[in-house]
Structure 1
């Protein structure tokens, strides 16, 4: 991951997933505000598990790049099968990708298992939470320099990851909160944006802050500064970039909600007044069971697209 493409590629992945979730959460809440429910992933119209397949494919590609393609010997170990110091960060990045791969695999398995398990949805959310927790843990205790410019970018990234982790866990206790789903989607997209910003800011020579330079250390390039004043200035610039990015993400997310909510208007459901109380309670129970199923969610989304 310690390259331009190593940050930009996963950044686009996070951004794509974040936008996909933001679109679906906003669409579902706009159409069905009373029956809205938090979901950790969303089925696609043509290929139901496309999101999970993309997460799994991206994770596998990241692991292969970190452990087999990136290293000069195409394997990250020393001749005595120990992990050299210059490849510790490769194993850290691969461990993050492995956790996301496990999340995608178990989410797919839970969704395909019939009959559906009662705890499938909360356990899927826990698996997603574990992936974000692993990401936060390894970036917090990263083997790379914590004091330099890259460390400042990583510290700011941890703030966004923490929001993703907290809101994912809140999805278990507050499954009908649109705010939880909205903030989680925005935070995932913001992770992607910040990865892209890091990639260009730290590995594009023309964008290196004044007084700093790219230095090759242990087989990869890092940004070093010639003085404490230059380092302080570079960190301050990173903070400013983060604040501007945050303002842009919040503004665009709210604008996205306004535009999408005006396109998808709430669907009113009418029922006969003559229905008995018992019949209405039975229908409500059936409807609740349908809402808790990912399968019914996929069908509902396809029906909405057909009606349009």
Structure 2
């Protein structure tokens, strides 16, 4: 069983990173299509380079803070019972493992980009990101918390979106010059963040479908018809999010192309600056 903040916190991280990747992917391609390369992270320009690695710090620090919340605060430090992991807290332990993988990805990428201790090509970083997404996928697919009914349907959609993140990051390693792959990866991360938000507001917030309710640790519907209506509503919500994201991508490209796509502006915003 999840919670409202437990979906909003990771959703915020995925949403902001995804939108930033969409913007940077469009800007880099419009600036210089011939030299375009897939990036698993994007530097923040300006401020004399002081914020260049901001995205990686957000991923690493945000993942670490969320990891501490899940492993230390949510478990009330009841980690071991009779010498084994507390079975009542397995949900938190699983979330901690997922967050640990994103923390490791952030740290490895920072070491690769800022030091000479672990120089890795962009393709290798893409594969490391895909490992983090795979850990997330396995967590939600083989969750110790059995997601049934309407809750299970929302988490099934989440698993599918995570699968798209895995495919797009692996494709980024195999096709390092592909703008569609880079943009697809950014869109997938954005949709995952949006769906975390949608799940929070629907299952644990004010958007619960009619005839369904949160009772204790379970979401129940009064009749099968109400559950079916909730699933159809989820389909519509997903379609609406995909539509909004695609409109946003097209709008971003229409805004970027006349400004950064001209040869006079290529040097003022080089691809590596975003």
Q: TM-score, normalised by structure 2?
A: 0.89
Matched, 1:155 2:156: yes
Any conservation in 1 of the 2:36–2:271 contact (CA below 8 Å)?
Answer: no
Instruction: Provide the residue aligned with 2:122 in structure 1.
Output: 121
Instruction: Provide the residue aligned with 2:57 in structure 1.
Output: 53
Match of 1:65 among 63, 66, 69: 69
Any conservation in 2 of the 1:202–1:222 contact (CA below 8 Å)?
Answer: no
Change beyond 3 A, Cα 1:233–1:107: same
Instruction: Provide the residue aligned with 1:287 in structure 2.
Output: none
2:144 and 2:235 map into 1 onto residues whose CA distance is 22
Post-superposition Cα deviations, 1:161-196, rounded to whole Å, max 9, x if no partner, equal 111111111111211110001111111111111111
Using the TM superposition, give the Cα deviation of residue 25 of structure 1 relative to its aligned residue in structure 2, in angstroms: 1.1
1:215 and 1:148 map into 2 onto residues whose CA distance is 14
Instruction: Provide the residue aligned with 2:79 in structure 1.
Output: 77
Any conservation in 1 of the 2:201–2:208 contact (CA below 8 Å)?
Answer: no
Instruction: Provide the residue aligned with 2:169 in structure 1.
Output: 168
2:174 and 2:101 map into 1 onto residues whose CA distance is 23
Post-superposition Cα deviations, 1:101-141, rounded to whole Å, max 9, x if no partner, equal 11111111111333884x53222111101011111111111
* Structure of larger gyration radius: 1
Tell me the SS of whatever aligns to 1:34.
helix
The equivalences for 1:104-253 within 5 A come to: 104-114=106-116, 117=119, 119-204=120-205, 206-216=206-216, 221-253=217-249
Q: Which runs of 5+ in 2 are unaligned?
A: none
Change beyond 3 A, Cα 1:175–1:17: same
Change beyond 3 A, Cα 1:192–1:115: closer
Post-superposition Cα deviations, 1:10-39, rounded to whole Å, max 9, x if no partner, equal 111111101111111111111111111111
Stretches of 4+ aligned residues off by more than 4 angstroms: 298-302
Any conservation in 2 of the 1:32–1:266 contact (CA below 8 Å)?
Answer: no
Higher RCO (CA 8 Å, separation ≥ 6 residues): 2
Post-superposition Cα deviations, 1:33-55, rounded to whole Å, max 9, x if no partner, equal 11111111112233222111100
Post-superposition Cα deviations, 1:285-306, rounded to whole Å, max 9, x if no partner, equal xxxxxxxxxxxxx98655x9xx
1:113 and 1:241 map into 2 onto residues whose CA distance is 43
1:176 and 1:141 map into 2 onto residues whose CA distance is 34
1:83 and 1:131 map into 2 onto residues whose CA distance is 23
1:116 and 1:242 map into 2 onto residues whose CA distance is 39
Any conservation in 2 of the 1:67–1:90 contact (CA below 8 Å)?
Answer: yes
The equivalences for 1:11-30 within 5 A come to: 11-30=11-30
Q: TM-score, normalised by structure 1?
A: 0.80
Tell me the SS of whatever aligns to 1:223.
strand
Any conservation in 1 of the 2:27–2:271 contact (CA below 8 Å)?
Answer: no
Q: Which runs of 5+ in 1 are unaligned?
A: 270-297
Post-superposition Cα deviations, 1:233-280, rounded to whole Å, max 9, x if no partner, equal 2222222211222222222222222212222114379xxxxxxxxxxx
**Aligned residue pair count:** 267
Structural RMSD (CA): 2.2
Any conservation in 2 of the 1:160–1:187 contact (CA below 8 Å)?
Answer: yes
Matched, 1:254 2:258: no
Any conservation in 2 of the 1:129–1:168 contact (CA below 8 Å)?
Answer: yes
Change beyond 3 A, Cα 1:172–1:263: same
